[in-house]
Every structure is written in structure tokens, then in C-alpha cells.
Amino acid sequence: MTSYHAPIPEMMFVLKELADLDGVSGLPGNEEATPDLIAAVLDEAAKVAQEVLAPLNQVGDQQGSRLVEDRVTTPDGWQDAYRTFIEGGWNSLAFAEQYGGQNLPWLIATAVQEMWHAANMSFGLCPMLTQGAVEALILHGSPELKDRFLPKMVSGEWTGTMNLTEPQAGSDLSAVRMKAMPEGDHYRLFGQKIFITYGDHDLTENIIHMVLARLPDAPEGTRGMSLFLVPKVLVDEHGGLSQRNDVRCVSLEHKLGIHASPTCVLAYGDNEGAVGYLIGEENRGLMYMFTMMNLARHAVGVEGLAIAERAYQQARSYARERVQGRPIGVGAGDRASICHHPDVQRMLMAMRANIDAMRALVYLWASALDKANKHPDREERERHSQLVEVLTPVVKGWCTETGNEIASLGIQVHGGMGYIEETGAAQHFRDARITTIYEGTTGIQANDLVGRKVLRDQGNAARALIAWMRATDVGDVAGLGRAVASSLTHLSDATDWLLDGGGKNPRLAASASDDYLRLWGVVTAGWLLAKSASAAERSLTDGDGDVEFLNGKIASARYFGTHVLPHSAALLRAITEGAEASLALHPELV
């Protein structure tokens, strides 16, 4: 079994130096979020992650959740862990005080979420889905529905799910067929939903499903979908539980990874129809889904970071212990642990540098979300809201693709032992694999970036963000300032290509979109790590901070600047000269 140790100094460094923790603490409503409180919160969350959740990760993978008749049983220890989790108040961390939340910034929620997912991603998914359902209800639900359902969902006494996908409606939600028939003050729902994470489980006595369905007279396509709240067990006006609703788990998927997270097929309305309550207005369901999408996609980006961190910790400790061969250039003497071999050292450095890069990007996004929500100045709110919009698909797409690469490197560091399941490295690789798929595949993220975030506003938001990065003084530690400047030019050129030529041909733009998303990831992360290296050097000069730690920050930025950031030139070329090459053959002959 492998352990997890929450990297709090790394987190604090990014929070303070790159994600403007002081600025976020200073926002109206965030007065409580002082640095000493945040340190205490991270310390206590770390204990729960390390001691309660992490030890269940492997047993969860091996046992998986099981379906017995129409009830899902979670792995051994899951119920106790969930109780510890909600009794600790962790479920309500970022929600508003008026609903029983702790009202802490999303920036802090993000750091804490990183711990949950790194400790045990299958577990972390449960509160993550609840968070989405809570957001939907807060933003669009009626006061009555909020009163009846929110308090227990905020506390975590009840969990939430998101029901979008149907067998014929995956990435294309316009094909959703689930029916909702009006009946008095509620609706009756009929149909089947698939891929419902934690659609059923034994952790809580009720589960609140958010379900996309069509009314009988609804228009075709995406404009004809409404959002419904469907409880597993019906709830009376006083919040008491009454009878089982007509919704059942009929099957669990057999998956490559995240075995402990039950992925359910839910059957609605096999008998009298499942009672559901309309959220907001009719036919606006998909739009409501979009309002929660940024947070949900960011949360999956956090998973990419988190699983990479876990894979790195495991690879690092193995590489320090496993003795094999003598160091290169030394013919005789003692054998060395494999971390002394340059190629293994390179892999660990690649893991470390990419993790620093992902953490910077993921935290920056959360900081921008807090400012977009709470900054007193309207222009600042808009600027940060633009950043959130442009970077959401980048955080989701780039951090999950990179998370997969890092989890794969984690196995490579182990050599043959990594391929053996008992070692535990393979689980991270398998668990990571879903992150580039759910909550919109990387392809969907890339389309979102190119179509909605760049072409739709003629590149205004993207260009403003590039200009902002250009105008920031990132210093020039280890030549990073110059490297970032030329990479920003590549990003700017690729954006121009999309806006001036490529974007006019939608197939060409779509073909270039994946490389364009990666370009954004590499350049924004490189820009952040240049800042990181400057901040570390400043602290070294001031004699303020742990020298070894700060040197580590500079070294990882330097690795990123020389090994990853230069990809920007190749990506630019792939976009401007290679988009056509991908489409050279007839689609059915590829």
C-alpha cells in the first residue's frame, strides 16, 4: 500500500506567490480567510486525506463498489470515511453561510480538493458531484426547493448526482430522450440515464439527482431540455423522508479505473414514474448545466493535478529505495538507488515540474473565480471572469492530459514492478485515464476553447489575456523570461491564424483545436513558472524561506522552460501548417 503526504509547503507557495492569496483574502466576504486560518484548514484537511482517505484507495480499487439487487454497496471502510468527512464539515467548505456552508474561497476549496483526489480519487468524486448539484440548486432552484433540499446537501447528509448522458446522447446532449410529464405541482420522469457517478450508494439515506429531460411539447434539440430534481427517497415539506421514488440502479459499469466510484445505469419510471421537481424554467436545462460547467471542469482539472502528485510521490519514494546498478561514470563501489541514474532523475524532474505547472494553473483559475465573483471593482470582475472562461477548457484539457502522462511516467520509473498491480502505480494510471474523458473529452474542451472562447468574441478575451501575460514582469531567472516572451508570440500567432484564416474553415479550426489547447496550457504554465522562479529567487535573496525548497522551485521552472515550453514552437507549426495534414485522407479511409 502506498501513502500520501499532502504537499502543504508547495501548496502554500503557489497560493501566496502565484494565486494572490492575499488578494483573495482581502475580497469582501472573505475576511475570515486569514493566512493562519488557511494554514490550520490545510493542516487538518491533510490529516483526513492522509489518515482516512488515502489508506482506502487501494482497497477501493480492489473491491470496487458492488450492485446487490438494486442497491449499491461501497467498499469496506467507505461508510466510516464518509461519516468522518461530513462530520468534519468538509463538504460545506466553499458554500455560502446562508445555506450552512463555511463560505471559504474557492481557492482554498481547490487546495483541499487536490488533497481529497490525491488521497483517493474514487472517494473525492462523491463530494465533487454533490458540489455540482448544490450549485445548480443555489443558482436556479426555487426558494421552496432550496429550503427543502439544500441544507442536507450542503452538509453532505445527502449527496447529489448529475444525470445528463443517455446511451444515444453522450457528447451530443441534443439527443436526450428522457421524458417528463407534468402532474400537479411536480412531474413524472420516464427513461434511462447512464454513466451516473455515485448514482446509488450506501453512504447516505438519500441521493438527490439532477436530471435533464424533455417535456411532452418541448422543441427538438438542445433548446428543449429542462432540469429536474429527483430525490431517491421522497421528501415531505418538513424535510422528512417518505417513500422510495421510482428510480433504481439497474447496473454498474465495469471500468478501467476508479473502481470504487459506482458508475450507475439509472432507470426512471419503471412503474408509476419518478417524481421530479422543475429547476428554474422549462426548456432552459442545458443552459443551467453550462453555468455549473466551469466549476465541474475545473474540478476535473484538479484531479489531473492530484493524481499526478500521488503518482509522483509513489515513484519518488520507490526510486529512492530501489537499488539497481552503479551510477553512470562510476565503475566500482556500492550499487545505488535508481534515483541516481540520470534517466530516472529526468523522469522524476519531469513529474515534479509538470506538477508545479499544473498546480499553478489550477490555483490561478480558482483565484480568478473568487475575484470574478467578489471583487468590488466591476472591471476587475469582468477581467477575471474572462480569464476563467478562456482558461476553463485549458485547465480541464491540459491538466488531465498531463496528469495521464505523469501517471504513465510513474509506472515507467518503477520499471517492471510498476506493471504489477500490487505495487499500486498502475492504479493511478488507470484512475487518471477517465479524467480526459468525462465532463467533456479533451476534444470537446478544445472545441469549446476555439469556438466559444476565441472565435465567438473575435479573440477579444484571448488577446486580452495574452496581453496581460505579456505585460507582467516575470523576471528572467534561468532565461525563463525570454523563453516565455517567445512562447507568448507563438500563442499570439496561433490565435491570429485562427481568427484570420483557419477559423473561417470550421473543419480546419476543429482539426487544430487540440494543439491550440495544448499551446495555451504550455504557455500559461510556463508563464506562471517563470513567475514562480522569480518569486523563489527573491525569497532566496531576502534570506526568507527554506533554501532547498526555493532552489527546487527554480530547478523545476528551469526544467519546464527547457523541456516543455519549447513545444510552443512545434505546436504553432502543427496548428498553422499541420491542421490540413490531419484531414488529408477521406474520414472513412483514415
Partner 1 sequence: MKILVPVKRVIDYNVKVRVRQDGSGVETVNVKMSMNPFDEIAVEEAIRLQEAGRAEEIVAISIGAPQCQETIRTALAMGADRGILVETEQDLEPLGVSKVLRECVDRESPDLVIMGKQAIDDDCNQTAQILAGLLDWPQGAFASTLKFSDGRVDVTREIDGGLETLSLLLPAVISADLRLNEPRYVKLPNIMKAKKKPLDTIPIEELGIDVAPRVSTIKVEEPPARSGGIMVASVEELVDKLKNDAKVI
Neighbours of 477 (CB within 10 A): 22
**Closest approach of Cβ 417 to partner 1, in Å?**
26
Instruction: Estimate to the nearest angstrom the gap between the alpha carbon of 373 and the chain centroid.
Output: 19
Alpha helices in 120-209 (DSSP H): 121-140, 143-155
Region 527-566 residues binding partner 1, contact defined as CB under 8 A: 545-546, 549
C-alpha pair distances (Å), 219 with each of 176, 177, 194, 228, 290: 12, 12, 23, 17, 19
3-class state of residue 93 by DSSP: coil
Q: Which of 17, 389, 439, 537 is catalytic?
A: 439
Only segment of 39-47, 139-147, 294-302, 483-491 that touches partner 1 (CB under 8 A): 39-47
| Window 85-114: contact mask with partner 1 (x via CB under 8 A) | --xxxx-xx--------x------------
Region 1-20 residues binding partner 1, contact defined as CB under 8 A: 5, 8-9
Binding residue (CB under 8 A) for partner 1 from 39, 139, 328, 581: 39
For helices 342-374 and 547-563, angle between their N-to-C axes, nearest 10 degrees: 100
Neighbours of 420 (CB within 10 A): 12
Give whichever of 39 and 420 is closer to partner 1, judged by the CB atom: 39
Neighbours of 37 (CB within 10 A): 13
Region 49-68 residues binding partner 1, contact defined as CB under 8 A: 51-52
CB 232 within 8 A of CB 206: yes
**Closest approach of Cβ 127 to partner 1, in Å?**
13
Alpha-carbon distance 381 to 60, whole Å?
42
Give whichever of 41 and 498 is closer to partner 1, judged by the CB atom: 41
The reply to whether 97 belongs to the active site is no
- Can you spell out the DSSP letters for 321-389? H-B-S--TT--SS---BGGGSHHHHHHHHHHHHHHHHHHHHHHHHHHHHHHHHH-SSHHHHHHHHHHHH
Give whichever of 83 and 463 is closer to partner 1, judged by the CB atom: 83
Burial of 358 (0-12, 13-18, 19+ CB in 10 A): buried
For residues 41-77, one letter each, b for 16 or more C-beta atoms within 10 angstroms of the residue's C-beta and e for the rest, the string is: bbeebbebbbebbbbbbbbbbebbbebeeeebbbbeb
| H/E segment holding residue 36 | helix 35-47
**Closest approach of Cβ 65 to partner 1, in Å?**
24
Binding residue (CB under 8 A) for partner 1 from 1, 22, 29, 47: 47
Binding residue (CB under 8 A) for partner 1 from 44, 282, 476, 496: 44
| H/E segment holding residue 540 | helix 506-542
Region 65-84 residues binding partner 1, contact defined as CB under 8 A: 84
**Closest approach of Cβ 83 to partner 1, in Å?**
11
| Window 171-210: contact mask with partner 1 (x via CB under 8 A) | ----------------------------------------
Bridge partners (DSSP) listed for residue 266: 193, 249
Give residue for cell 457528447.
171
What is the widest separation between alpha-carbon atoms in the chain?
85
Bridge partners (DSSP) listed for residue 279: 227
Bridge partners (DSSP) listed for residue 396: none
504 binds partner 1 (CB under 8 A): no
- Phi, psi at 179, each rounded to 5°: -100, 145
- Nearest C-alpha neighbor of 209 from the set 184, 234, 186: 234
Give whichever of 103 and 505 is closer to partner 1, judged by the CB atom: 103
CB 491 within 8 A of CB 523: yes
Residues that bind partner 1 (rule: CB under 8 A) add up to a total of: 28
Q: ∠ CA(372), CA(378), CA(381), 5° rounding?
A: 15
- Phi, psi at 44, each rounded to 5°: -75, -40
Region 19-38 residues binding partner 1, contact defined as CB under 8 A: 32, 34, 36-37
| Window 453-482: contact mask with partner 1 (x via CB under 8 A) | ------------------------------
Give whichever of 39 and 467 is closer to partner 1, judged by the CB atom: 39
Give whichever of 47 and 504 is closer to partner 1, judged by the CB atom: 47
Give whichever of 114 and 389 is closer to partner 1, judged by the CB atom: 114
The set of catalytic residues is: 439
Which chain residues interact with partner 1 by CB under 8 A?
5, 8-9, 32, 34, 36-37, 39-41, 43-45, 47-48, 51-52, 84, 87-90, 92-93, 102, 545-546, 549
